């Protein structure tokens, strides 16, 4: 049973449908280096920081480059990614994301963002949901990338909630590992066959009510019937 006192969210693939743009940009990098990324490679690239993702791409292609070339490739990938998300709007939010954030806010459950992306503040701004987070920890604040737990531990600390009382919503294997390493309850967003280390897996935030059957609830939800009637 987990009666969570705070919720931490990954961004890409949980709140907003940007994972596809990250992968498309890496595919172009690979093509220019003379190899192809397979669909399955996407799972390895999710959740990991930009330079770690580049290292994985190069490893898949069996390509070695010097540091200056690596920096240029990462910069070029990011320029393409930023270009691809140029037109991002609230319509790109994944089903249930905004409703859950607003619901938690109305119940007084603190919320935090724990993203590896250095583009996170820009995306939150474009989606108009920055003020639905009590704390934002992203790839520019934290250098240890997922599966290291730092991004989520920093989120819990900023919210003033013990790690064991935090639920993390994650679509990436590396992110679920980071949440587990932080001693938090990891809720996978996606395929249970992929996110095998998560405490529970749901198809999206719109299905959050299904977590109660897994013993995962939010402390703020424990309103009395009287409070419900007057809510």
For the annotated catalytic residues, the residue numbers are: 10, 12
Question: Which of Mg ion, ligand BG6, none interacts with 49 (beta carbon under 5 to 8 A by kind)?
Answer: ligand BG6
119 lies in the binding site for ligand BG6 (CB under 6 A): yes
Question: Would you give the distance in Å from CA 61 to the centre of its chain?
Answer: 26
State the minimum distance, in angstroms, from the CB of residue 120 to ligand BG6.
Answer: 7
Among 116, 156, 184, 195, binds ligand BG6 (CB under 6 A): 116
User: Does residue 122 have a cis bond before it (omega within 30 degrees)?
Assistant: no
Q: Which residue has the tokens 């998560």?
A: 198
Among 2, 4, 9, 10, binds Mg ion (CB under 5 A): 10
3 state DSSP class of 217: strand
Q: Which of 115, 141, 180, 185 binds ligand BG6 (CB under 6 A)?
A: 115
Binding flag, residue 22, ligand BG6 (CB under 6 A): yes
Both ends of the chain: CA-CA distance in Å? 26
- In the list Mg ion, ligand BG6, none, the entry touching 126 (Cβ below 5 to 8 angstroms by class) is none
138 forms part of the interface with Mg ion (CB under 5 A): no
HEC profile of 131-146: HHCCEEECCCCCCCCC
Q: Provide the residue count of the chain.
A: 231
Pick the stretch among 57-65, 112-120, 127-135, 176-184 that binds ligand BG6 (CB under 6 A). 112-120
Task: Name the DSSP letter for residue 16.
Answer: B
Residues forming beta bridges with residue 168, ordered by sequence position:
8, 186
42 touches ligand BG6 (CB under 6 A): no
Integer Cα distance of 156 and 69 in angstroms: 37
Among 7, 53, 135, 151, binds ligand BG6 (CB under 6 A): 53
Tokens of 157: 């600390």
Q: Which residues bind ligand BG6 (CB under 6 A)?
A: 11-12, 19, 22, 45-50, 53, 78, 115-119, 139, 172
């Amino acid at each position: 049973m987990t009666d969570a006192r705070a919720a931490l969210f990954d961004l890409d693939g949980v709140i907003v449908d940007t994972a596809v743009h990250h992968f498309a940009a890496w595919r172009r990098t690979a093509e220019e280096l003379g190899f192809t990324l397979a669909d399955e490679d996407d799972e390895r690239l999710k959740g990991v920081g930009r330079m770690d993702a580049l290292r994985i791409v190069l490893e898949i292609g069996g390509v070695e480059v010097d540091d200056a070339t690596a920096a240029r490739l990462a910069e070029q990938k990011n320029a393409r990614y930023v270009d691809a998300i140029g037109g991002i709007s609230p319509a790109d939010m994944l089903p249930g994301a905004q409703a859950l954030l607003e619901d938690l806010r109305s119940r007084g459950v603190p919320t935090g963002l724990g993203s590896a992306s250095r583009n996170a503040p820009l995306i939150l701004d474009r989606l108009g949901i920055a003020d639905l987070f009590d704390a934002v920890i992203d790839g520019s604040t934290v250098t240890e990338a997922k599966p290291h737990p730092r991004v989520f531990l920093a989120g819990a600390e900023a919210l003033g909630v013990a790690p064991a009382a935090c639920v993390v919503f994650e679509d990436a294997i590396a992110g679920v590992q980071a949440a587990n390493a932080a001693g938090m309850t990891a809720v996978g967003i996606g395929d249970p066959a992929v996110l095998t280390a998560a405490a529970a897996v749901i198809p999206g935030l719109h299905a959050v009510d299904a977590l109660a059957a897994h013993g995962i609830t939010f402390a703020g939800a424990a309103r009395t019937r009287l409070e419900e009637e007057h809510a």
